[in-house]
Amino acid sequence: MSTTVTAKAQVTIPKAVRELLGITPGSRVDFHRAADGSVMLTRAHRKKPAGRFEQLRGHAGKGITTDAIMALTRGDGPSS
């Protein structure tokens, strides 16, 4: 399969390749250079697996104040 590069250096990925890789509008793709100099196109991973710290990330919730959070971390209980 071949395709033409546009004036903006863009190409259309042939339909057969898009279907094979599951590429849909908005998908991200990666280009990898092989040892022999050829270039491979792969579908980028949708989402990186969350790291151990990322899994713990969040928010304290609605309505809790900074003072209340600090009191809880110190073991004083919520402040009023």
Residue 72: what pLDDT?
Answer: 86
CB 29 within 8 A of CB 43: yes
Domains and CATH numbers, the chain: 9-46 (2.10.260.10)
How many angstroms separate the CA atoms of 11 and 17, rounded? 13
Residue 5: what pLDDT?
Answer: 94
How many angstroms separate the CA atoms of 17 and 31, rounded? 14
How many angstroms separate the CA atoms of 11 and 5, rounded? 5
pLDDT, tens digit only, all 80 positions of the chain: 889 999 999 999 999 999 998 899 989 999 999 999 999 999 887 666 667 777 677 765 577 788 888 888 888 765 55
Q: 42 by DSSP, 3-state: which?
A: strand
Residues in Cβ contact with 67 at an 8 Å cutoff, skipping those fewer than 6 apart: 79
Residue 52: what pLDDT?
Answer: 72
